[in-house]
Structure 1
Amino acid sequence: MTSTTPPRTLPLHRLAHARTGDKGNRASISVIAYDPADWPLLVDQVTEARVARLFASRSPTQVKRYLLPRLAAMNFVLDDVLDGGVNDSLNLDTHGKTLSSLLLTLPISIDNKEETP
């Protein structure tokens, strides 16, 4: 008899870290896998559609993903998410660094993999 265990869910930050930059009203968020073995899982689950849904409250007009397989990384470019940009926004910090923290909360389903510490 085979026992199947449902996949577990971890926040993205358990499998990857992020770097962010901003230019005008555009944010660029890179996601880099801690372990290159997790790269296929991240490519499969950290998609343009999921990132767009996660950032829906920021109303991006476009979310574009660029894959960097030799680095086990990907870069997302989100247009029109910075309230006009650093110089135009009245928000204290909706820019760069805080947006990567939001992306790292994205739930990732894993198949009984040992958790990354």
Structure 2
Amino acid sequence: MKLRALAHSRAGDKGDISNISVIVYHEKDYALLERYLTPERVKLHFSEIVDGDVVRYTLPKLGALNFVMQRALGGGVTRSLALDAHGKCLSSAIMNLEIPDDLCKTFSIV
């Protein structure tokens, strides 16, 4: 199952730091995302662009996870040659993460 089936996302930036929030549609799905979406998994997903650390902040009352990715925007808006120097499309890119079927079944999400 793609992450987009369970959540939506927003992205922001500051210099060479990208900030991505993943927000569940339904509160019952938060525990699965909290278990599956680790900083390591997010860094692996963005391994081609993230050269720094990835830190995760949990916001259970909002049903959200916030990821701060250091050295993720090719030097930042004024230095990057990327078409999306702000990294706004990263919120769409994270939605392509595949959540394993066995984990979905463990959390009764199918």
- When normalised by structure 1's length, the TM-score is 0.85
Aligned mate of 1:60, from 28, 32, 51:
51
Q: What is the letter of the counterpart of residue 69 of structure 1?
A: P
**TM-superposed deviation, 1:108:** 1.2
How many residue pairs match? The answer is 105
Runs of 4+ displaced beyond 2 Å:
none
**Could you give the per-residue CA deviations for residues 40-67 of structure 1, whole angstroms, max 9, x where no partner exists?**
0000101111001001101331000000
- Aligned residues: CA RMSD: 1.2
Q: What is the letter of the counterpart of residue 20 of structure 1?
A: A
Three-state SS of the structure 2 residue aligned to 1:57 is coil
Q: What is the letter of the counterpart of residue 79 of structure 1?
A: Q
Structure 1 residue runs without a partner (length 5+): 1-9
**TM-superposed deviation, 1:19:** 0.6
Q: Which has the higher strand share?
A: 1
Q: What is the letter of the counterpart of residue 31 of structure 2?
A: P
**TM-superposed deviation, 1:94:** 4.5
Alpha-carbon distance in 1 for matches of 2:17, 2:5: 26
- Deviating more after overlay: 86-95 vs 45-54: 86-95
- When normalised by structure 2's length, the TM-score is 0.90
**Could you give the per-residue CA deviations for residues 16-51 of structure 1, whole angstroms, max 9, x where no partner exists?**
000110000000000000000000000010111100
